[in-house]
Structure 1
């Protein structure tokens, strides 16, 4: 049974527009249509959306990798200006070819480029139709000490969840407790944030990376932001993780808000990020 990041959840004001864009341009396929039931709404902390229309999108291997839930009231805004989930880092086979073919409602924020970390990692940042930010990433070779996946598929799956936080140390402590690994902390250039904030492109940020099973990771970027309005934003809402059993008391002590829902946990991190935890 696969562990690590299982799928992501988007909130979309217009479900049909989002699904049509992902099918036409990112090689996903509609696997199932339905509505949000009470159990899943509780696991997502979205009880007010019980009965909302939803669609599961699958990759070319038939794996459901994206759940899109409709909320016409959700506010579309770029995620760089609030703490919590920033981006889905999605594994792709050929980033240059994929990015070159993207058009509205996707917006490529900058040309594909090699990462400062390694020339073996090449990525482009793309804003999606409901305000979600995607790091479309091609891995050409292993980059020790990280354990990274590779693919020949046009679009494979989310393998890194990227978040922003006002406090890297607090967020790294919470995620290390959840994932059972301390990870690495360093400073690095983040071009998409520098562009958004109008800063020099070589500006650097405190970052932490914490590994999880299944060749997945979470990236934690520390940025200073004003307090955001208490709104439900469209775009990336939650990541579903399948992990070995964890102690709820330990998670709470490390900074997580934990709500048990049967074999699942609804987790809210110290920067506001939501996790749907499935116990392996």
Structure 2
């Protein structure tokens, strides 16, 4: 059902600083700005977000993928990887080492230096960073994903979000939702060292966590992590979105029946929806998912799914 990652909505306390950093270091452009409409806030079941300042940003090559940043002072105390829900955004980059070099003495904090995901010449090269809004980013050079998305060597240094990372209490609940309910395929869970979780929660770095990958369209994945029992749902203020990565919008050819909608599908005219029908679901980790009905495209690529974003993240 779910196909491509279309828009990632992140709440931040320092909107102007985050926008400037993404413009300077990622060459993202601001394609829309203003305040959140009452219609959109109601669609999110977050009426108190209405009137909050936002910017909508897009990669330099005008890829059909967006990052929406919303100003929310309550986010100041949020720490990624310490609660259920969306925890990290993985961006496809053309040169991980160049991205890291550009972050020296910047608003970004490199918390995982560039390195190969496994020992092979063509292995994806990964790094991790915290942005100025405390947004957790994985930045990855991945030739399989690049091919799956139809990109060539002209792609910009930092391109689109191609993997989203969610955490929750139960891998079985993730499977029931993404496989049984949404009809997607998902890898068998396997134990991995996920250092970002361990560091954020003061756990031994060799701690392992069950991890599975949910397959979307070629080039796109979801990573789902089973978190320790001590970590619970993200605190959400009444009438507002979750702190950090709040909502992820993904395209779908059609809307499946029998779904338990948080908000029933409706037509949304503003960017990035452009008059498409959009419904809102909640996953088992509390992750909010916008389902954006988008006509199927003919693709010439049957590229393999990209890496399992595991051991070094």
TM-score w.r.t. length of structure 1: 0.87
In the other structure, the counterpart of 2:278 is 264
2:236 to 221, 231, 251: 231
Does residue 125 in structure 1 map to residue 128 in structure 2? yes
Distance 1:149-1:219 versus aligned 2 partners, 3 A rule: farther
Post-superposition offset of 1:268: 1.4
Unaligned runs of 5+ in 1: none
Q: Tell whether the 8 Å contact from 1:95 to 1:122 is kept in structure 2 after alignment.
A: yes
Distance 1:158-1:241 versus aligned 2 partners, 3 A rule: same
Q: RMSD of the alignment, in Å?
A: 2.6
Post-superposition offset of 1:75: 3.5
2:193 to 189, 192, 195: 189
**Cα deviation per residue 1:50-83 (whole Å; 9 max; x = unaligned)?**
1211111111112452111112233442211111
TM-score w.r.t. length of structure 2: 0.78
Distance between the aligned counterparts of 1:176 and 1:117, measured in 2?
31
Aligned residues: 272
Post-superposition offset of 1:16: 0.8
Distance between the aligned counterparts of 1:274 and 1:114, measured in 2?
31
Post-superposition offset of 1:179: 4.5
Post-superposition offset of 1:167: 0.3
**Cα deviation per residue 1:192-231 (whole Å; 9 max; x = unaligned)?**
2233233443332111111112521111011113335623
In the other structure, the counterpart of 2:9 is 9
Distance 1:14-1:226 versus aligned 2 partners, 3 A rule: same
Distance between the aligned counterparts of 1:114 and 1:226, measured in 2?
29
In the other structure, the counterpart of 2:141 is 138
Distance between the aligned counterparts of 2:140 and 2:245, measured in 1?
17
1:247 to 256, 280, 288: 256
* SS of match in other structure, 2:41: helix
Distance between the aligned counterparts of 2:93 and 2:234, measured in 1?
34
Q: Tell whether the 8 Å contact from 1:56 to 1:65 is kept in structure 2 after alignment.
A: yes
Distance between the aligned counterparts of 1:259 and 1:161, measured in 2?
22
